[in-house]
A and B are shown apart, each in its own frame.
Chain A
Amino acid sequence: MKDEITKGILKALAANGKLSPDDLALQFNITAAEAAAEVARLEREHSILGYHAVIQEGELENSEVKAIIEVHVRPERDGGFDRIARRLSKFPQVVSLYLMSGGYDLMVEVKGNNLNEVAMFVASKLATIDGVLGTGTHFLLKKYKEAGILFQEEEKNERLKIVP
């Protein structure tokens, strides 16, 4: 398959993981079987690592909370930030983790069932890891946009029903 089509498929699925082989076939002028085979290959070769839905706040009836935690880390002589980042990323509470430029080193997104759970995780696990020099925790209050999707519904755009 052409590199250009493969890249197009990855881009399309990154924007909408629900696109079916039929949808991809229409978009890239290939057959549905070719699209399915290419997606399977991309999954097998770990170019595509997973799919998820972006869910409206409050739809899951729990009081899940999220926090962004700024972490200052002492980099190691061999491996820099990688070993400590790997160790942190394995906690199921950690949703995403990035190495940052600027005032702190790692940005960790953490989820928990309530404020206390997140606070406990930070205090007892994250902050106590050897090499972690300090943390700053910011709880998320409201989502406006996530993964390119707006959380506030836009007013429907009314068009005339027939336009020449």
Chain B
Amino acid sequence: MNDSKSCRNFVAEHIDVLPKSGIRKFFDLVNTMDNVISLGIGEPDFVSPWTICESAIYSLERGRTSYTSNLGLLSLRKAICSYVNKYFNLQYDPQKECIVTVGVSEAFDLVIRAITEPGDEIIYHEPCYVSYNAEIKMAHGVAVPVDTHEKNEFALSPADLEKAITPRTKAIILNFPCNPTGALLTPEQSAAIAEIAVRHDLLVIADQIYSELHYDSDSMDSIASLPGMKERTIFLHGFSKAFAMTGFRIGYACGPAQIIDAMMKIHQYSMLCAPITAQYAAEEALKNAIPDMQNMVEQYKARRNLIVSRFNEIGLPCVNPHGAFYVFPNIQSTGLSSQDFAEELLNRECVAVVPGSAFGACGEGYIRCSYATSMDEIRLAMDKIEHFVKSLKQ
């Protein structure tokens, strides 16, 4: 006899139906193999600059191991606001328009939860970072993807965006430079999107995490700096990508005091504050690691040039991405799906890439390759991809 009484499913339905990240399955497969050259890693291959690590150590030596203000150390918020002012021409008050979070991921989660009422529609562009869709659904919102296309270099078309707007639309998420495509918006596209946001009275959530990693323009920008936009934009940024600080988990949000205050309430009850050691490290990054960051950007640029030219030589057309550290080549000529291409490439050549379909349905027919890896590894991986593609044609 079985005495145990079967349990009902305790998992909430909206979480139960949420699919696992498309990357997860592939990750499990890659992990079973040795000697894989991975172009699938969405984080810098550099170790955090030493001045940052040393500051973290120093903060521990001084016994700085307590909680901080919910909003984060005031000295860090001041440094963040001054950095955002200098490089993005945006003025925020560190006392009430800035919050330090556990990575940009938390900042994103906070803003989505702070603004979404059940049934609110939130528009985002695909292919995109894997969390957007799920985050919106977890907040009981309706996720509305707008496809971006190779012919537009994966920038968001203002006309396509406008078609997706309904009376229930509350916000638009913009992530440029974009993971996984490396796309940027032109100034004209930004202006047109800003005009649409103002006309429809929408909030813009600008995920700027890759902003420093741009290769063909002189400066960084944010849609928040356009006329009429600062009051309707939440500027999300962090230290992970530009300063190679992924494991420190420090992000931040700047925006209108009312929204930052709402985000602070959620953060206060769920997270309390970001880790103090990492906050000191982040402050040092802004003070003294900008030259290190610029040096990393130069190296990414050379790698970008190499990987783009190699994909085009091989016959897999590849848009030249202007930012981030990803390329998103078109593999349709091979006749394989993104998933099959990635699996076959892994099995035959031990090279890992991520199927484009993991970033949204319109990523099908593409793969994402990260060039946050050494030149030698990129060269070797590209030779293997060339060998693989040639073998498919025989």
Contacts and interface: CB of A to CB of B under 8 A. Distances in A.
Contact of A23 (B38, B47, B130, B302): B302
A162 B40 contact: yes
Contact of B41 (A23, A154, A163): A163
A161 interface: yes
Interface in A137-164: 154, 157, 159-164
B352 A161 contact: yes
Interface in B349-372: 352, 354, 358
B268 interface: no
A160 B45 CA distance: 11
Contacts of B31: 161
Nearest to A24: B302
A27 B298 contact: yes
Given A162-B38, A164-B130, A157 B305 contact: no
Nearest to A27: B302
Interface string A8-25: 000000000000000100
Interface string B328-358: 0000000000000000000000001010001
Contact of B30 (A23, A27, A161, A164): A161
A157 B244 CA distance: 12
A23 B375 contact: yes
Contacts of B305: 26-27, 29
Given A23-B302, A29-B305, A163 B42 contact: yes
Contacts of A159: 41, 43, 45
Interface string B299-314: 0011101100100000
Contacts of B26: 162
Interface string B128-144: 01110000000000000
B301 A161 contact: no
Interface residues of B, number: 29
Interface residues of A, number: 12
Nearest to B215: A29
Contacts of B152: none
A157 B41 CA distance: 13
B87 interface: no
The residue among A23, A154, A163 with the most chain B CB atoms within 10 A of its own CB is: A163
Contacts of B288: none
A131 B391 CA distance: 74
B274 to A, nearest CB: 20
A87 B26 CA distance: 67
Interface of A: 23, 26-27, 29, 154, 157, 159-164
18 contacts: A26-B302, A26-B305, A27-B298, A27-B301, A29-B305, A161-B27, A161-B31, A161-B40, A161-B352, A162-B26, A162-B27, A162-B30, A162-B38, A162-B41, A162-B354, A163-B41, A164-B179, A164-B354
Kindly list the 5 A-B residue pairs having the minimum CB-CB distance in the complex, ordered from nearest.
A27-B302, A162-B40, A162-B27, A163-B42, A26-B305
